[in-house]
Chain A
């Protein structure tokens, strides 16, 4: 699926981040959902031995979606940091929320399961990576 057609009509704003600046901070509350338009971002998680980079994502990657999909006003589970200069699009949160709300409880339940499992697995991976 080409990313342009998927996000068309959803981008509410665009932001530019300088290298190594933080786009999303772990532990903070926030519910913006971003899509990487240009450049790359690092997904980092804090561990007992300092931050560990768990993944590097490029253009087309959507980040910050976990809070939306979990359907709770929760904390950010990982940090997203600009790896070089990065242009992100901020997605229309209201529209996304409306559309997500319209799904059946079963389907939403399955998506939430997926998100919770990703959260758990990421935690485990960061603990292992810090050893």
Chain B
């Protein structure tokens, strides 16, 4: 009998979506193993919530308090993401084994614990900073203007440089498109024919599937190295895009 009381039986618990399983700052000793469903581990302050990890079936949480010898409160909260079933362990028996294990292993796992606590704080801190940066960027330049949607594509394109004397067309590939402009990938060697600098003007001719031919003028805004070796990626902004082209690009983007 006495022995039984020492090692409480394993308990099963179930939770529904949104239920709080562990609350940061509380004192608790149980260790949980997920039998079914998913949980989110997160840290929360007055107005922010930083997720640290998402766990699923077979994974264990609540173990950090155990390694802290139960002296410290829970360092993060855990909530159910769907229907969750848990196996709850009482750590009594494991605590005895943990105390008796070779000091070097205890030292090592304790170090891993402290690094994890530190990294959790780092993630929390960096996430807060990221949020702040985004909020500031948003204020400086409203969303609509800055991050418009571009459709990724691979469209063959012929183009002619405005200032160039050569009447020959150069070849490129449109890598993304929107009614504001295109990302144009060209061979770096095209530079020999004429300027490919920010400010350079060009006339683009390309075909939108199935058979819409578009010819429009644009200005290079940005020149970067493309992921394809020996190629440049030109950020080209349309100038005076015709109503027809705008509609056709709009249709193409919806496909």
The answer to whether A binds B is yes
Could you tell me which A residues sit within 8 Å of B by CB distance?
A: 1, 3, 5-7, 10, 54-55, 61-62, 65-66, 69, 91, 96, 99-100, 103-104, 106-107, 109-111, 113-115, 117-118, 120-122, 124-125, 128-129, 131
Interface residue total, chain B, C-beta cutoff 8 A: 36
Q: Nearest CB to that of A3 among chain B residues? A: B107
Q: How far is it, in angstroms, between the C-alpha of A125 and the C-alpha of B115 when the chains are bound?
A: 12
Q: How far is it, in angstroms, between the C-alpha of A66 and the C-alpha of B112 when the chains are bound?
A: 8
Q: Which residues of A contact B101 (CB under 8 A)?
A: 99, 103, 107
Q: Does B46 contact A (CB under 8 A)?
A: no
Partner of B126 from the list A61, A109, A128 (CB cut-off 8 Å) is A128
Q: How far is it, in angstroms, between the C-alpha of A14 and the C-alpha of B98 when the chains are bound?
A: 29
In angstroms, how far is the closest chain B Cβ from the Cβ of A103? 6
Count of A-B contacts judged by CB separation below 8 Å: 94
Residue contact B109 to A114, C-beta cutoff 8 Å: yes
Stretch of B116-124, B185-193, B213-221 at the chain-chain interface: B116-124
Residue contact A121 to B97, C-beta cutoff 8 Å: no
Q: Which residues of A contact B109 (CB under 8 A)?
A: 69, 111, 114
Q: How far is it, in angstroms, between the C-alpha of A100 and the C-alpha of B117 when the chains are bound?
A: 23
Partner of A103 from the list B59, B97, B118 (CB cut-off 8 Å) is B97
Q: Does B113 contact A (CB under 8 A)?
A: yes
Residue contact A125 to B123, C-beta cutoff 8 Å: yes
Residue contact A121 to B112, C-beta cutoff 8 Å: no
| A–B pairs, 25, beta carbons within 8 Å | A1-B106, A6-B103, A10-B104, A65-B111, A66-B112, A69-B109, A99-B105, A110-B60, A110-B63, A110-B94, A111-B109, A111-B112, A114-B63, A114-B112, A118-B112, A118-B116, A121-B119, A121-B123, A125-B119, A125-B122, A128-B122, A128-B126, A128-B127, A131-B126, A131-B130
Residue contact B107 to A1, C-beta cutoff 8 Å: yes
Given known contacts A96-B104, A104-B97, A109 and B60 CB-to-CB distance under 8 angstroms = yes
Residue contact A125 to B63, C-beta cutoff 8 Å: no
Interface string of B126-149 (1 = CB under 8 A from A): 110010000000000000000000
Given known contacts A1-B107, A6-B103, A121 and B126 CB-to-CB distance under 8 angstroms = no
Q: How far is it, in angstroms, between the C-alpha of A69 and the C-alpha of B64 when the chains are bound?
A: 16
Residue contact B112 to A113, C-beta cutoff 8 Å: no
Q: Which residues of B contact A118 (CB under 8 A)?
A: 112, 115-116, 119
Q: Does B66 contact A (CB under 8 A)?
A: yes
Q: Which residues of A contact B116 (CB under 8 A)?
A: 114, 117-118, 121
Given known contacts A121-B52, A125-B119, A128-B123, A1 and B103 CB-to-CB distance under 8 angstroms = yes
The residue among B63, B89, B115, B130 with the most chain A CB atoms within 10 A of its own CB is B115
Give me 5 other A-B pairs in contact (C-beta within 8 A), A118-B112, A124-B52, A128-B127 excluded.
Answer: A107-B94, A110-B94, A114-B67, A114-B112, A125-B126
